[in-house]
Amino acid sequence: GHPIAYLELPLAFLFLLLLNLIYFLLYFRKHQLALARLMNVPAIPDQFIVNSGAKAIPVPVEEVAYFIKLERTTFLLTSGGEQYVYDLPLERIIDQLDQQRFFQLNRQLIAHRNSILSYTATATRKLYIELEPSPARTIYVSKARVGDFTRWLASA
């Protein structure tokens, strides 16, 4: 054999080994980043702790009809019609909820899919929402959010 062949073979081998090592490190880093992203996703709670006087009561997510902000207080209403004070603002609550089941209708209300009885378009292209249990005030979805709302409702 030629003496250059003895030099080329180990160099080619080292080159391929280096390429494989770089590929492995990039692949490993990509999976570490994906894993870190998954770990940062907040867990969706299966119940909410509400206050009733001095008592703290767990309410399962399935029983939540909607969260409503009245004056400066947030309330959780159950499908059975019970109303409880809930001490988180709506902006923080929406981040904890399953987006398939809950939708923020407006700045005052986040509704569970099952609590929406019907919706009607108004002359101003907003939607009037009928909820069960019926809230103290009339609930509308702004015309800017109508498309998002109807797509969300249809995606069940």
CATH class held by domain 47-154:
mainly beta
Closest by CA to 49, choosing from 19, 85, 13, is 85
Mean pLDDT of 53-65: 94
Q: Cβ distance 145 to 126 under 8 Å?
A: no
DSSP single-letter state for residue 144: T
The count of other CB atoms within 10 Å of the CB of residue 140 is 19
End-to-end CA distance of the chain: 72
Q: Does the reported pTM lie above 0.85? A: no
Mean pLDDT of 41-68: 90
pLDDT digits (tens, 9 = 90+) for 74-102: 999 999 999 999 989 999 999 999 999 99
pLDDT digits (tens, 9 = 90+) for 113-146: 999 999 999 999 999 999 999 998 999 999 999 9
Token pair 């980043």: residue: 33
pLDDT digits (tens, 9 = 90+) for 18-53: 999 999 999 999 999 888 888 876 678 899 999 888
Beta-bridged to residue 102, according to DSSP, are: 112
Closest by CA to 136, choosing from 94, 89, 91, 75, is 75
Closest by CA to 96, choosing from 67, 75, 132, is 67
Q: Cβ distance 65 to 112 under 8 Å?
A: yes
pLDDT of residue 1: 64
Question: Rounded distance, CA 33 to CA 54, Å?
Answer: 44
